[in-house]
Copies of this chain bind each other. A is one copy, B any other.
Amino acid sequence: MPRLAEVFRSHGYEGATLALISQATGLGKGSLYHFFPGGKAQMAAEVLAGIDSWFEVNIFTPLRTSDDPARAVATMVGAVDSYFQSGHRMCLVGVIALGASRDTFAGQVQDYFRRWNDALALVLRRSGLSASVARRRSADALVTIQGALVLARALDDSRVFGQAMADMTTRLLAKPD
């Protein structure tokens, strides 16, 4: 499964051919279609679901249940930085959102970002921010993460990612303006 995810991550949905998948996982087509009768679409859907549940456990839930906003944000940033390997690893959800396969997985993609956004806004509200400011800042954080991944990869410079994460943290924790 992790191998499968990595293929989609680095080749996109249309670029991830069954030959590549077969090679990366070490499984023949027979096995692949035994476990995923729905073919490529099902593989991608399950990978997305796996990512979703990783984020649910490691990011969303900690945000929702935290009683210390500053600490919660710091934890999130740490988890994000390690998950995306400081900008070297792509966000599959973002990659799919940009591709032609977006429509097929629109629901899952939307759900993922929406839940992240809600969880982050919740913890920001708890820090004393108004609902509108909290939502604005949480959306800004997601924008920054996705943009930092794009730009770091485009410029082939992971310092861009690190700097963006630092700036984002400052902005998230700034006192209400």
Taken together, the copies of this chain in the complex come to 2
Closest to A159 in B: B139
Closest to A102 in B: B153
Q: Is the interface of A mostly helix, strand, loop or mixed?
A: helix
Q: A164–B139 contact, CB under 8 A?
A: yes
**Segment with Cβ contacts to B, from A21-29, A55-63, A70-78, A109-117:** A109-117
Using an 8 Å CB-CB cutoff, how does the interface string of A83-109 with B read, 1 for contact, 0 for none? 000000010011101111010001001
- Cα A155 to Cα B114 in complex, Å, equals 7
Partner of A160, one of B106, B143, B150, B155: B143
- Cα A95 to Cα B145 in complex, Å, equals 16
Partner of A100, one of B11, B97, B113: B11
Assuming the contacts A110-B156, A113-B151, A164-B140, asked whether A12 and B97 have C-beta atoms less than 8 A apart, the reply is no
Q: B98–A90 contact, CB under 8 A?
A: yes
Partner of A98, one of B94, B139, B145, B155: B94
Contacts of A98 in B (CB 8 A): 12, 90, 94-95, 98, 150, 153
- Cα A150 to Cα B148 in complex, Å, equals 11
Is A176 engaged at the interface, CB distance under 8 Å to the other chain? no
Assuming the contacts A98-B95, A163-B136, A164-B143, asked whether A113 and B12 have C-beta atoms less than 8 A apart, the reply is no
Partner of A143, one of B102, B106, B110, B144: B144
28 interchain pairs (CB within 8 A)?
A: A11-B99, A14-B14, A90-B98, A94-B98, A94-B150, A95-B99, A97-B150, A97-B153, A97-B154, A98-B150, A99-B99, A102-B153, A106-B156, A110-B154, A110-B155, A110-B156, A113-B151, A114-B155, A136-B167, A139-B160, A140-B163, A140-B167, A143-B148, A143-B160, A143-B164, A146-B151, A147-B150, A150-B150
